[in-house]
């Protein structure tokens, strides 16, 4: 795995596009961009980096070359998921730091709880996007993976919206009352709510990572080069 | 098939089925030897190489590397293999300088000094990205990378493809240096049969996914011959040592493994030495003698 991590480090280092990260950071701080947007944006940007390395691995029969080296399919996948995890962590931390800086520059008082909640929501959303893309990219390549991601995100949105509309039609106002009742039962103090949200986020992330890794393993198991 | 003690590589009826093609390959490689694999396009050479390197999974058969079943091959075992495959390149963004830490990460025994010496010797720019390399430079870097981590077995599919004479000679020299360690071995394929004639100890000829001939290179070059026979000569000649024949405008072109026999007994017949290309062509296109 050490070789793969070093390879990906040099691969990222040699990409000129990576310079966009500090440039965007400076731009967002100077323009006093919305804190929650900064956090989500940098999480997404950082999480895209492992996908980018995977893309380069696949160009020019790179996979064929890579798997002639002392690398197993299992090690390759572990390295990529590890990279996604650390990239997400890096993106979130960078996002938070820049959001704080942006608030300081623009003189706004940061709403820590809202920022934290946005961070968690963004983390789940970005993870979902990235972790759908990895198995899709392994199976169909980068181009088709983007289309598949759009279809899946579209399908999830459609299911949620349609599901809500249908439930609303069947149960009428009861559904809104039910949701309000459920929300009223949730803790209102910031600490308990924050801990609860963190717990739910961790569970969701574990579930998303698990499903994505399982699908990728099955795809890699049957992949030939 | 001989016993597989002390073999670097043993393939015993390794099969792989595709809709239009079936590989059924048996071959072995002993330490200290360079073994060539030749055959026309689509004969199954690359499928054989990919099976050995674990890039495809054989359907059946026995595949042993360093006397170890390939299914039990670990990443540490794989570090003892070096390979060059056509069209399978290291990451395009990496430079030869970047390859040093990367290869050190993959191979604990990576020989940095030797790598730098070889890169310098063969004129590879250390700071240039692989994607900007010429064909010759790409091949040279791939060969150097395969040679500088104490591999014991090299699997080389067309390593001289696209190179000019000078570069080909340089690559072949590197391979000869590698064989100074008698525990090492090379399995190599090439479309340029003269490269293999000068380099290989023995040669396997592959056709339609199967090995149809295995011979020491010396015997191929000294014992094999071509007989150019008229219709009358063909009818009268002893055909017991003719391996294959091909109808020509003047009569028959016959391949024999006993050139001396025919030279002694038919001194007035046209009997010529033949190249590996000619042997391959007659065996591939000719028909067996009844």
The answer to whether position B156 is within a domain reads yes
A10 interface with B at CB cutoff 8 Å: yes
Q: What is the DSSP string of A155-224?
A: HHHHHHHHHHHHHHHHHTTHHHHHHHHHHHHS--SHHHHHHHHHHHHHHHHHHHHHHHHHHHHHHHHT--
Asked if A140 and A54 touch (Cβ cutoff 8 Å), the reply is no
Least Cα separation, residue B290 to chain A (angstroms): 42
Which of the listed residues B219, B236, B262 is the one where a domain comes to its end?
A: B219
CB-based contacts of B31: which residues, under 8 Å, 6+ apart?
Answer: B6, B8, B182, B183, B184, B185
Determine, for residues A68 and B85 on separate chains, whether the beta-carbon distance falls below 8 Å: yes
The answer to whether residues B117 and B208 belong to one domain is yes
Facing B75 at nearest CB: one of A14, A59, A70? A70
Q: Show which of B197, B219, B241 is a domain's final residue.
A: B219
Do B81 and B97 fall into the same domain?
Answer: yes
Residues B45, B136, single domain; the answer is yes
- Are B71 and B154 found together in one domain? yes
Q: Which positions in chain B touch A71 (Cβ < 8 Å)?
A: 75, 78, 106
For strand B34-38 and strand B60-65, is the pairing parallel, antiparallel, or unpaired?
unpaired
Answer yes or no: is B196 within a domain. Answer: yes
Do B64 and B17 share a structural domain? yes
Q: Is B93 in CB contact (< 8 Å) with chain A?
A: yes
Which residues is B287 bridged to in the sheet? B245
* Residue B21 shares a structural domain with residue B45: yes
Chain B contact for A164 (CB, 8 A cutoff)? no
B46 touches chain A (CB under 8 A): no
CA distance B224 to chain A (A): 37
The domain of B228 spans: 224-285
Same domain assignment for residues B18 and B144: yes
Whether A125 contacts A204, CB under 8 Å:
no
Number of domains in chain B: 2
Pairwise CB contact (< 8 Å): A65 & B88? yes
Domain assignment of residue B212, yes or no: yes
Q: Say if B133 falls within a structural domain.
A: yes
pLDDT tens, per residue, chain B with 290 residues: 444 458 999 999 999 999 999 999 999 999 999 999 998 888 899 999 999 999 999 999 999 999 899 888 899 999 999 999 988 888 888 899 999 999 999 998 899 999 999 999 888 999 999 989 988 889 889 999 999 999 999 999 999 887 888 888 888 988 999 999 999 999 999 888 888 888 999 999 998 999 999 999 999 988 999 999 998 998 888 988 999 999 888 899 999 999 999 999 988 999 998 888 888 889 888 888 76
Of B74, B78, B82, the closest CA to residue B111 belongs to: B82
Give the minimum alpha-carbon distance from A84 to chain B in angstroms, rounded to a whole number.
20
Spatial separation of the C-alpha atoms in residues B278 and B290, rounded to whole Å: 21
Query: Are B67 and B5 spatial neighbours (Cβ–Cβ below 8 Å)?
Result: yes
Per the domain annotation, does B118 fall within a domain? yes
Residue-wise pLDDT for A12-47, tens only, equals 888 877 778 888 888 888 887 788 888 888 888 888
For tokens 């300081």, name the residue: A104
For A15, the closest chain B residue by CA position comes to: B93
Contacts of B46 in chain A (CB under 8 A): none
Q: Which residues of B touch A60 (CB under 8 A)?
A: 87-89, 92
Residue pair A156/A73 in contact (Cβ under 8 Å)? The answer is no
**Chain A contact present for B102, CB below 8 A:** yes
Q: How many CB pairs under 8 A join A and B?
A: 91
Residue B171 token pair: 């690559």
Same domain, B199 and B279: no
Residue B5 pLDDT: 54
Whether residues B89 and A61 touch (CB distance < 8 A) is answered with yes
Strand order in the sheet with B225-229: B242-248, B251-256, B225-229, B270-273
Q: Which residues of A touch B51 (CB under 8 A)?
A: none
Rounded to two decimals, the pTM is 0.83
Residue B4 maps to a domain: no
Q: Which of B172, B190, B219 is the last residue of a domain?
A: B219
DSSP tag of B15: E
Task: Select the residue of A2, A56, A67 nearest B91 (Cβ to Cβ).
Answer: A56
On whether residue B2 sits in a domain, the answer given is no
The alpha carbon of B133 is separated from its chain's Cα centroid by a whole number of angstroms, namely 25
For residues B183 and B250, what is the distance between their CA atoms, to the nearest angstrom?
49
A16 touching B (Cβ < 8 Å): no
Between CA B72 and CA B110 the distance in angstroms is: 24
Residue B290 belongs to some domain of the structure: no
Q: Which residues of chain A have a CB within 8 Å of the CB of B90? A: 62, 65
Q: Which two tokens stand for residue B242?
A: 């003719």
Q: What does the alpha-carbon distance between residue B232 and residue B111 come to, in Å, rounded to a whole number?
A: 64
Q: Are residues B124 and B257 in the same domain?
A: no
The answer to whether ipTM exceeds 0.95 is: no
Instruction: Supply the DSSP string of A9-27, one letter for each residue.
Output: HHHHHT-GGGGHHHHHHHH
**Distance (Å) from the alpha carbon of A145 to chain B's nearest alpha carbon:** 21
Q: Are residues B78 and B165 in the same domain?
A: yes
Q: Are residues B201 and B159 in the same domain?
A: yes
What phi and psi, each to the nearest 5 degrees, are found at residue A198? -65, -45
- Looking at the fold, whether B164 and B280 belong to one and the same domain comes out as no
Q: How far is A53 from chain B (nearest CA, A)?
A: 10
């Amino acid at each position: 795995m050490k070789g793969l991590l070093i390879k990906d480090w040099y691969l990222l280092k040699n990409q000129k596009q990576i310079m966009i990260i500090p440039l965007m950071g400076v731009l967002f701080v100077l323009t006093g961009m919305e804190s929650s947007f900064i956090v989500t944006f940098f999480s997404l940007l950082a999480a895209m980096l492992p996908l980018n390395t995977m893309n380069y691995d696949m160009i020019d029969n790179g996979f064929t070359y890579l798997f002639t080296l002392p690398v197993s399919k299992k090690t390759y996948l572990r390295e990529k998921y590890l990279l996604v995890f650390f990239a997400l962590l890096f993106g979130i931390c960078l996002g938070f730091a820049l959001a704080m800086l942006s608030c300081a520059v623009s003189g706004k008082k940061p709403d820590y709880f809202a920022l934290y909640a946005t961070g968690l929501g963004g983390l789940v959303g970005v993870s979902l996007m990235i972790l759908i893309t990895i198995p899709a990219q392994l199976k169909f390549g980068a181009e088709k993976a983007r289309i598949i991601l759009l279809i899946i995100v579209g399908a999830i949105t459609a299911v949620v919206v349609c599901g809500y509309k249908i439930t609303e039609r069947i149960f009428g106002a009861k559904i809104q009352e039910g949701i309000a009742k459920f929300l009223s039962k949730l803790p209102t103090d910031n600490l308990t709510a924050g801990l609860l949200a963190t717990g739910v986020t961790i569970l969701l992330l574990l579930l998303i990572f698990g499903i994505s890794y399982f699908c990728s393993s099955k795809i890699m198991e049957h992949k030939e080069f | 098939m001989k016993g597989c003690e002390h073999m670097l590589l043993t393939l015993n009826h390794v099969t792989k089925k595709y809709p239009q093609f079936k590989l059924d390959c048996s071959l072995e490689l002993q330490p200290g030897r360079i073994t060539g694999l030749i055959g026309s396009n689509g004969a199954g050479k690359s499928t054989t190489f990919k099976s050995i390197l674990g890039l495809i999974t054989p359907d059946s058969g026995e595949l042993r590397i360093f006397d170890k079943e390939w299914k039990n091959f670990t990443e540490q075992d794989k570090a003892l293999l070096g390979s060059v495959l056509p069209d399978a390149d290291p990451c395009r963004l990496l430079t030869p300088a970047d390859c040093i830490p990367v290869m050190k990460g993959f191979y604990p025994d990576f020989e940095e000094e030797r790598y730098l010496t070889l890169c310098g010797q063969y004129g590879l720019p250390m700071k240039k990205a692989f994607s900007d390399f010429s064909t010759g430079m790409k091949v040279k870097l791939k060969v150097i990378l395969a040679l500088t981590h104490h591999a014991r077995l090299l699997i080389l599919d067309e390593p001289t493809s696209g190179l000019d004479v000078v570069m080909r000679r340089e690559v072949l020299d590197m391979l000869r240096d590698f064989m100074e360690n008698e525990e090492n071995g090379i399995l190599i394929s090439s479309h340029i049969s003269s490269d293999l004639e000068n380099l290989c100890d023995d040669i396997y000829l592959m056709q339609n996914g199967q090995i149809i001939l295995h011979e020491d290179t010396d015997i191929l070059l000294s014992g094999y011959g071509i007989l150019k026979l008229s219709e009358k000569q063909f009818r009268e000649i002893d055909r017991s040592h003719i391996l294959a024949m091909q109808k020509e405008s003047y009569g028959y072109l016959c391949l024999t493994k006993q050139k001396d026999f025919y030279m002694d007994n038919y001194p007035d017949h046209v009997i010529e030495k033949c190249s590996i290309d000619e042997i391959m062509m007659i065996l591939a296109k000719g028909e067996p003698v009844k």
